[in-house]
Structure 1
């Protein structure tokens, strides 16, 4: 299984994420599969809240879209939601994660054990910090390319 996911962002650089199959093997497999298919290429960060998180992974950019693959069963863990934590977005149904994910800007420990952590930013967090903000974002930053290695 791949060790890292590299997101090349429109904000000027690469974000290298250490994948955590030890915490969420099903979610890491899904993210890796979608990245290999080119699913995330060109996809916007449609919801970016300063001091909280940047959310992307919806090709429609509406926050309502996802992949055609079935939703995933939750893989919640005690891993803390801190700066650089990568976790899956979902609806109020715990087993509704599909392709959308978020990257935490700061500690968001109130999310612990309620969202599936699948990775941790190792480098390039400054490119996440540089994403345009909003809910929705008027002119969103994008994932230009997603590569698993």
Structure 2
């Protein structure tokens, strides 16, 4: 094998490494936080909150609609009426109000162009039922999915970047909704009967409110929320309280919250620099070898 073939093999290996690293980085959420942050308070985990990063480049129409809903106060006292561990949690039907009436009349939005982006744990997407049917209902993925996200109406609009443990603590005792579960929540009754869920499914958790975090307050809000949740180490699940040691074990086993850019391991950056230098060195050696070969040929 001559030096030219060695160079080409190394070049392809390096390219494969960079592509793999890029994919792993996105899969783990280790990307720059450059979207709009939305903080939502819940009744779960003793009133803890979680934070979405809404990414317009993923879904322009969907991201705009979600942020409009947040700004209008739509997500006030909104039930997490569908919580299926290992699958998803769904929300988006608030109690009767002028805001709900307005958005019901607003109708649906067009589908966003599909980017074939796999829906991963913590990703947020509208819960559409077919082409151009996205309106006010959304879901958060509780696990990576190999099939969600392939339809145009399931393009993710953002992701949970803080507080995934709060999502995991949502009450899930009622199981799937109807018709998948005969004893489950029936969506049409939520719209028709204001007291339906409180009466028949009293243990459900609720989204108390959501608000857009100003760009200047992003980091402070994240750290404040993280600190508050660290202080609250006991979570109400149904009517039982889970001990701190159990929560820690669950967190270690299940929590896959994305890491922040500021927590990006420096060793990875160092490795990238080393590989970049190696690539440049090999390129230089290959060129020198070609020059020598030409000299010998003459």
TM-score, with length taken from structure 2: 0.46
Deviation at residue 109 of structure 1 after TM alignment: 2.1
Local SS of the residue matching 2:81? strand
Structure 1 residues 73-97: Cα deviation after superposition (integer angstroms, max 9, x where no partner): 1113322111101011011x22101
Local SS of the residue matching 1:118? strand
Contact map agreement 1:77 1:117 (CA 8 A) in 2: no
Structure holding more strand per residue:
1
Q: Say what the alpha-carbon RMSD is for the aligned residues.
A: 1.9
Query: Which of 116, 129, 132 is matched with 1:95 structurally?
Result: 132
User: Given the alignment of the two structures, is residue 33 of structure 1 paired with residue 71 of structure 2, yes or no?
Assistant: no
TM-score, with length taken from structure 1: 0.88
Local SS of the residue matching 1:39? coil
Higher RCO structure (Cα 8 Å, ≥6 apart): 1
Local SS of the residue matching 1:72? coil
Instruction: Report the equivalent of 1:72.
Output: 109
- Structure 2 residue runs of 5 or longer lacking an equivalent are 1-34, 178-184, 186-196, 214-298
- Choose 1 or 2 for highest CA Rg: 2
Instruction: Report the equivalent of 1:23.
Output: 58
Structure holding more helix per residue:
2
Rounded to whole Å, the distance in 1 between the matches of 2:205 and 2:52 is: 18
Number of residue pairs aligned between Structure 1 and Structure 2: 144
Instruction: Report the equivalent of 1:4.
Output: 37
User: Given the alignment of the two structures, is residue 130 of structure 1 paired with residue 194 of structure 2, yes or no?
Assistant: no
Runs of 4+ in 1 over 3 A off after TM superposition: none
- Shift in CA distance, 80/118, structure 1 to aligned 2, threshold 3 Å: same
